[in-house]
Amino acid sequence: MHPPSSSVVDELTAIVDQLAPDREPGVLSLSSSLVDDLGMDAVTLNELALGIEERFQVRVPVATLSGAVGDVVAHVERELASG
């Protein structure tokens, strides 16, 4: 498995920065849980899914959003690669 694309990570970080302003901006660990570590609730996860879809034209399942940031990045990269 290759390392995640910095552009996907950077774009996802920018989206999360907008949705979770209480955390340190610009820093997003791939092992962080969006729910447990970043405190996102169902509404915020939905907004994140919409932001990802708008930016990358990729849909992310709720189960993936409930996991780690790295899972979301990997999903987006797979979808982008499959075109």
Q: Where are the domains of the chain?
A: 6-82
CATH of region 6-82, choose from 1.10.1200.10, 3.40.50.10280, 3.40.50.300, 3.40.50.150: 1.10.1200.10
Instruction: Tell me which DSSP letter residue 5 carries.
Output: P
Q: What is the pLDDT of residues 5-53, one digit of tens each?
A: 689 999 999 999 899 877 777 778 999 999 998 889 999 999 999 999 9
Is pLDDT above 60 for 1? no
Q: What is the pLDDT of residues 44-81, one digit of tens each?
A: 999 999 999 999 999 999 899 999 999 999 999 999 99
**Residue 7, CA atoms < 13 Å, CB-side half-sphere:** 4
Is pLDDT above 60 for 2? no
